[in-house]
Chains A and B, each alone.
Chain A
Amino acid sequence: DSGVTQTPKHLITATGQRVTLRCSPRSGDLSVYWYQQSLDQGLQFLIQYYNGEERAKGNILERFSAQQFPDLHSELNLSSLELGDSALYFCASSVEDVTDTQYFGPGTRLTVL
C-alpha cells in the first residue's frame, strides 16, 4: 500500500459525458501528479500540482483539467469524453526531495462506451 488513494476504482460512462477522478496523496506529500496509461500511448504524464498550484503540464488535453485543494487532495476532470479517453488514470504523490520518488495510487479505470 503506497498511501495514495484514488476513487473510484472503476468508472463506466458514455461519450460526451464528464467525470471527476479523485486522489488523496500520502500524508505530508505536497506534490500530486496525474498520468494516463493506455495500451497505445503507454504511461503519459498529464499534469503536476504542488501545494495547490499548477507546476508542470504534460500531454493534457484541453478537455481535461485538474485542481489541488487546500487539504492537498486533487481532482482530475475529464469532459466531452471520447472513446479514446478509455484508459487507466493514475495519481502519484511525492515529497519533493532530491530523488523525486513518486508513490502511485492504484488507479481509476475509465471506460467510455
Chain B
Amino acid sequence: GEDVEQSLFLSVREGDSSVINCTYTDSSSTYLYWYKQEPGAGLQLLTYIFSNMDMKQDQRLTVLLNKKDKHLSLRIADTQTGDSAIYFCAERRNTGGSYIPTFGRGTSLIVHP
C-alpha cells in the first residue's frame, strides 16, 4: 500500500517547541495516532485524534489535523531531553476487513541541552 510519510530526523534545543509532521494516505481514516518509542522499548501510544477534529491538546502535546491535505502534526511544547525518542505517526486503515494502524517510518527527535 501507499506509505505514511514522515521526515526521519528532527533536532531541537531543550526548552524549544518541536513539530513533527506526517502525511497519510487514506482520506477515510477515522483515527490517526502518534506513538513514541524509546531506546530498547516498544511503542507507546501518546495520543490520537478522531478525523472530525482539527486539533487536540493534551498537556504539552498538540495535534493538528488538516484533512484536506491529509497532514498531521505533533507539537511538543517546552521539549525536554527526556522527549528524545522516535515518534511514529499511524493511520487506521482497512486491511482485509480489519482496521489496522499503518505506521510511518518514524521521526527521531534529538533534544540538545
A residues contacting B by CB (< 8 A) are 2, 4, 33, 42-43, 45, 48, 50, 55-58, 90, 92, 98-107
Question: Does B103 reach chain A (CB closer than 8 Å)?
Answer: yes
**Interface positions of B (Cβ within 8 A of A):** 31, 33, 35, 40-45, 48, 88, 92, 95-106
Contact check, A42 vs B100: say whether CB atoms are below 8 A apart. Answer: no
Do residues A100 and B101 form an inter-chain contact, with CB atoms below 8 A? yes
Determine which residue in A2, A55, A102, A105 has the highest number of CB atoms from chain B within 10 A of its CB, and name it: A102
Q: Which of B31, B40, B88 contacts A43 (CB 8 A)?
A: B88
| Chain A residues, CB < 8 A from B97 | 55-56
Known: A55-B98, A56-B100. A42 touches B105 (CB 8 A): yes
Partner of A107, one of B33, B42, B99: B42
Assess A48 versus B44: contact at CB under 8 Å? Given A42-B105, A100-B31. no
Task: Tell me if B's interface is mostly helix, strand, loop or mixed.
Answer: strand
B85 to chain A, nearest CB (A): 13
Q: Nearest CB to that of A31 among chain B residues? A: B98
Known: A42-B105, A100-B101. A2 touches B95 (CB 8 A): no
Q: Are B96 and A104 in contact (CB under 8 A)?
A: no
User: Residues of B contacting A33 with CB < 8 Å?
Assistant: 100
Closest A residue to B41 by CB, please name it: A106
The chain B residue with its CB closest to the CB of A42 is B105
User: A57 contacts which chain B residues (CB < 8 A)?
Assistant: 95-96
- Write 23 A-B pairs (CB below 8 A) sorted by A numbering: A4-B42, A42-B103, A42-B105, A42-B106, A43-B43, A43-B88, A43-B105, A43-B106, A45-B101, A48-B98, A55-B98, A56-B98, A56-B100, A90-B42, A92-B42, A98-B31, A100-B99, A100-B101, A101-B45, A102-B43, A104-B43, A105-B42, A107-B42
